[in-house]
Amino acid sequence: MSVLANINYLEWESEYFSLKTGRLEFDTQAPVLTDEQLDVFAVVQAKVASHELFLIDKLSQLGFQFAEGEIDFKLSIGTENACKKTTEYCFRKANEDDIDLLMATASEAFVQSRFRTPWYQEGDSSRFYALWVKKAVLGTFDDICLLTYDAENNVSGFVTLRRLSENEARVGLLAVMPNRIGQGIGKQLMSAAKFWCQQQGVSTLYVATQISNIAASRLYTHSGGLIESTTYWLYRG
């Protein structure tokens, strides 16, 4: 069986990383994928459901390699998930004055990602996610960035959110300040995300993480998340 797919040019990523980048869009009506089509790009990405082993084998024959695994969680938002603000932990919408701190935190928190060597340069992942949180604060990459803070007004973590539809939203980034890891801040951030969903009338929240990130998977499971899907990112380049 041949691989039937179109290659979508990723303009923003191509310009940001200075690598002509494409992503496969699988379609039974698409032409057969060839080496000649793939060779036009410096990097071609493919996101494949983990159970599609035959397709993974075929992509491997075309030169694709495993880059990262991903788990997607689905949370149902109800009134029982309401976040109760306390004098110990509160949250608010991030503003432009917070950007430098949040960018520094994201740069440290997201060193390991699918934007890794040998396809990308050292430091690319940190730069990418630092820019992501900045744009989330400004309302571009994501719709909003919420941050948690303690009684002394010290920021303890942040979470970005993007509305997908009238009833659905997705967590973009979630990170805890390095000096607050292991103190339950992740739970506070998830509670803040759920509270925002309730305010927006959103009933379903999605959040994805790397298969290797056991701590994040536990957090999302304990927050009421159920596994919606598992996928693999494969790269050729």
Annotated active-site positions, please? 220
CA 89/CA 156 separation, integer angstroms:
9
CA–CA dist 31, 58 (Å, integer): 15
Q: Are 88 and 150 in contact (CB under 8 A)?
A: yes
Helix axes 99-109, 124-137, angle to 10 degrees: 150
Q: Are 5 and 23 contacting, i.e. CB atoms less than 8 angstroms apart? A: no
The separation between the first and the last C-alpha atoms of the chain, rounded to the nearest angstrom, is 23
- Torsion angle defined by CA atoms of residues 11, 111, 170 and 177, in that order, rounded to the nearest 10 degrees: -140
Q: 154 a known binding residue?
A: no
What single-letter DSSP state applies at residue 32? B
- Interatomic CA distance for residues 91 and 149, integer angstroms: 6
Residue 7's identity, in one-letter code, is I
3-state class of 155 per DSSP? strand
Cα–Cα distance measured from residue 9 to residue 2, given in angstroms and rounded to the nearest whole number = 21
Tokens of 119: 């396809």
Q: Which residues are annotated as a binding site?
A: 213
Q: Which residues are annotated as a binding site for acetyl-CoA?
A: 213
